[in-house]
C-alpha cells in the first residue's frame, strides 16, 4: 500500500473521529430542554465546533507538509534514467531507484578518481620534462626573486659560477645533473665576480628594465676571465608588478677567443697585403729616383742646358717628397688615434668640405647637392673634416670625363624609432662603381686601383670613424655609382662601448 494512501486513510479516520465527537456533543446538548436553553452550553458547543474544524485544517496541512519531501522523492525517482519493473510499489520503487543512482555515482566517482590520477601523472611528467628541458638547454638560467635571492639555477649556470657555488652550505649546494634546485643566496654574492651583472639585475628588479644581448666579463678566483652573453628580463604578475628577474646567459669565451684569433689572422693577412703595397710603392718610387739619378749622371757629360738638368732634378725631388709623404701617412695611420672631442656641427663640417672641393668640381662640371638633417654631436672636428674631405674627393675622382651624369650627393639623416643613436651621412656619386672583387679590399691600406696614389685614404677614413664609435661601409656600388654610408654616435660613448671599439 502506498504511503500517501495510508496518510489519506489516517486523515479520514481523524475526520471520522471528529465527526463522532461533534455528534456526541450534539446529543449531549439536545438532552433536556432546560439544559438546551443554557447559554454556556451553546458557547461550549460553538467553541467545540470551531476547535474541531481548525484542528482538522491544521492536521491536514501538517500531513501535507510531512508528505512533501516524499512526493519530491517519488517525482525524482520517476524522472531518473533508471527503469524498474511496474509491479513494484511506490516505496520500493523509490528505494531501489536511489540505490541504483548511488551505485552509478560510485562508479562515476571511481572513474573520476582514475581520470584525476591520470591527469596528476601527466602533470608530473610534464613538470619533469620541463625541468629536464630547462636543465639541458645550452644556456645558463638563473631566477632571482623580488627580495634579491637566487631561487633557482640550471646546471649550465652552476658550471659557469661553480667557483662561487663551492661556498654555499650543504642544503644550498647544487648538483649539476639534477636540473633546477632551490637556493637562498643573495644575487650580489652569487654574481660577485661580475659587477656589471649585479648592476643590471639590480636595475631590472627596481625598474623592470630588460637587457638584450649584453656582454659581461666575470673574473674567476684563479684570475681567468670568462665572457658571457647575457639577457635579463623582469618576471611580472598580472598587474605588471616586478616579482623577480630571469637571467639567461651563454659562455662566449671560446667564441670570443676564436673571433680574436680570426681577427688576428685577418689583421696579419691585411698587414701582409699592406706591406706588399707599401713595398710596391717604395719600389716604384725608388726605381723612378734611380732613373732620374742615372739621367742626371748622363747629362753631366753632355752640353744640355741648365733648365733640362733642373727639370730632371725637380722630378727626382718630387718622387722623394712623394715617398716622404707616403711614410708620414703610414706613420699617422699606424699610431694610436687620440681624439679631441667637443660639440661640433656636422652641417658646418660638410659645408667646409664642399667649399674646399668646389673649385675642382667647377673645373670638372660636377654638381654637388647637400640635403637632409645634420645634427650636432661630439667629435674631433679636424679629423672628421679630413675624413669627409677624403670621401668627397674620392667621389669626384670616381666620375669620369665622359660620364653623362655628373652628380655628387651628400645626404644626412638620423636613425628612426625610439632608439635614435646614430647620425648617418651618405655620400653618393654617379661614377662607374667599384668592382665586386675589390669591394672587400678598399679599406686595406695601400690597396688602390688608381694609376697614381697609394690607397691609404679610405683606411684613414675608417680609422677616424671607428675611433668616434661609428663606422663606414659601401651601401651600394654598381655601374650607376657608389654610395658610402658613414655613421657617427649622437652621444658620447660609455666605457663599455669604448672597450668594444678598442677590440676592432
In the CATH hierarchy, which fold is given to the domain comprising 258-331? Helix Hairpins (1.10.287)
pLDDT of residue 213: 82
108-122, 324-338, 356-370, 476-490: which has the minimum mean pLDDT?
A: 324-338
* 345 closest CA partner among 369, 387, 375: 375
Identify the helix (H) or strand (E) that includes residue 439: none
The pLDDT tens digits of the residues spanning 440-495 come to 888 877 777 766 666 778 888 888 998 888 999 999 888 889 999 999 998 865 44
Q: Indicate the domain borders of the chain.
A: 3-79, 137-251, 258-331, 342-502
21-30, 147-156, 288-297, 319-328: which has the minimum mean pLDDT?
A: 21-30
pLDDT of residue 301: 61
Largest Cα–Cα separation, the chain:
196
pLDDT of residue 44: 62
In the CATH hierarchy, which fold is given to the domain comprising 342-502? Heat Shock Protein 90 (3.30.565)
- 3-state SS, residue 362: helix
* 424 closest CA partner among 356, 483, 361: 483
Q: How many residues does the chain have?
A: 504
Residue 504 above 50 pLDDT? no
pLDDT of residue 351: 92
DSSP 470-489: -EEEEEEEETTEEEEEEEEE
Query: Which set of grid coordinates corresponds to residue 109?
Result: 566517482
Query: Which architecture does CATH list for 137-251?
Result: 2-Layer Sandwich (3.30)
Query: Which set of grid coordinates corresponds to residue 493?
Result: 660613448
Distance from C-alpha of 161 to C-alpha of 146, rounded to nearest angstrom: 21
pLDDT of residue 373: 92
HEC string of 97-147 equals HHHHHHHHHHHHHHHHHHHHHHHHHHHHHHHHHHHHHHHHCCCEEEEEECC
* 285 closest CA partner among 449, 454, 445: 454
* 333 closest CA partner among 462, 501, 489, 468: 462
CA 136, distance to chain mean position in Å, is 21
Per-residue CA distances from 260 to 255, 386, 500 (Å)? 9, 30, 12
The pLDDT tens digits of the residues spanning 288-330 come to 777 777 777 776 666 556 777 777 777 788 778 777 777 777 7
Identical fold between 137-251 and 342-502: no
Amino acid at each position: 500500500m502506498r504511503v500517501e494512501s495510508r496518510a489519506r486513510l489516517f486523515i479520514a479516520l481523524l475526520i471520522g473521529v471528529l465527526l463522532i465527537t461533534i455528534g456526541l456533543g450534539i446529543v449531549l446538548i439536545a438532552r433536556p430542554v432546560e439544559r438546551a436553553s443554557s447559554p454556556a452550553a451553546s458557547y461550549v458547543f460553538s467553541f467545540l465546533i470551531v476547535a474541531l474544524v481548525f484542528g482538522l485544517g491544521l492536521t491536514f496541512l501538517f500531513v501535507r507538509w510531512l508528505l512533501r519531501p516524499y512526493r519530491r522523492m517519488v517525482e525524482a525517482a520517476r524522472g531518473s534514467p533508471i527503469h524498474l519493473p511496474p509491479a513494484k510499489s511506490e516505496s520500493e520503487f523509490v528505494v531501489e531507484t536511489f540505490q541504483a543512482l548511488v551505485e552509478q555515482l560510485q562508479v562515476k566517482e571511481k572513474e573520476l578518481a582514475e581520470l584525476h590520477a591520470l591527469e596528476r601523472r601527466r602533470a608530473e611528467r610534464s613538470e619533469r620534462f620541463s625541468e629536464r628541458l630547462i636543465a639541458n638547454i645550452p644556456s645558463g638560467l638563473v631566477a632571482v626573486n623580488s627580495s634579491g635571492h637566487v631561487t633557482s639555477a640550471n646546471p649550465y649556470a652552476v658550471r659557469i659560477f661553480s667557483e662561487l657555488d663551492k661556498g654555499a652550505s650543504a642544503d644550498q649546494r647544487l648538483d649539476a645533473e639534477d636540473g633546477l634546485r632551490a637556493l637562498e643566496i643573495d644575487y650580489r654574492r652569487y654574481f660577485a665576480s661580475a659587477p656589471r651583472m649585479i648592476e643590471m639585475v639590480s636595475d631590472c628588479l627596481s625598474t623592470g628594465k630588460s637587457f638584450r644581448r649584453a656582454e659581461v666579463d666575470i673574473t674567476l678566483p684563479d684570475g681567468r676571465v670568462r665572457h658571457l652573453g647575457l639577457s635579463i628580463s623582469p618576471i611580472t604578475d598580472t598587474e605588471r608588478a616586478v616579482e623577480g628577474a630571469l637571467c639567461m646567459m651563454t659562455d662566449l669565451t671560446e667564441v670570443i677567443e676564436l673571433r680574436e684569433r680570426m681577427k688576428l689572422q685577418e689583421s696579419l693577412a691585411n698587414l701582409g697585403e699592406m706591406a706588399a703595397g707599401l713595398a710596391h710603392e717604395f719600389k716604384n718610387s725608388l726605381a723612378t729616383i734611380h732613373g732620374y739619378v742615372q739621367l742626371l749622371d748622363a747629362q753631366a757629360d753632355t752640353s744640355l742646358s741648365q733648365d733640362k738638368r733642373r727639370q730632371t732634378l725637380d722630378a727626382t725631388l718630387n718622387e722623394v717628397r712623394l715617398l716622404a709623404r707616403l711614410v708620414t701617412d703610414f706613420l699617422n695611420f699606424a699610431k694610436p688615434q687620440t681624439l679631441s672631442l667637443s660639440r661640433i656641427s656636422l652641417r658646418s663640417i660638410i659645408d667646409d668640405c664642399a667649399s674646399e672641393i668646389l673649385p675642382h668640381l667647377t673645373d670638372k662640371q660636377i654638381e654637388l647637392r647637400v640635403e637632409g638633417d645634420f645634427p650636432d654631436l661630439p667629435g674631433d672636428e679636424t679629423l672628421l673634416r679630413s675624413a669627409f674631405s677624403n670621401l668627397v674627393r674620392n667621389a669626384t675622382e670616381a666620375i669620369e670625363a665622359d660620364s653623362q651624369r655628373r652628380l655628387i650627393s651628400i645626404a644626412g639623416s638620423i636613425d628612426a624609432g625610439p632608439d635614435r643613436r646614430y647620425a648617418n651621412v651618405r655620400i653618393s656619386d654617379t661614377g662607374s662603381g667599384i668592382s665586386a672583387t675589390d669591394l672587400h679590399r678598399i679599406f686595406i691600406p695601400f690597396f688602390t686601383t688608381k694609376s697614381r696614389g697609394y690607397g691609404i685614404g679610405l683606411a684613414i677614413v675608417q680609422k677616424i670613424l671607428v675611433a668616434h664609435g661609428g663606422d663606414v661601409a659601401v651601401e651600394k656600388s654598381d655601374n650607376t655609382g657608389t654610395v658610402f654610408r658613414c655613421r657617427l654616435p649622437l652621444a658620447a660613448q660609455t666605457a663599455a662601448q669604448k672597450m668594444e671599439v678598442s677590440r676592432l
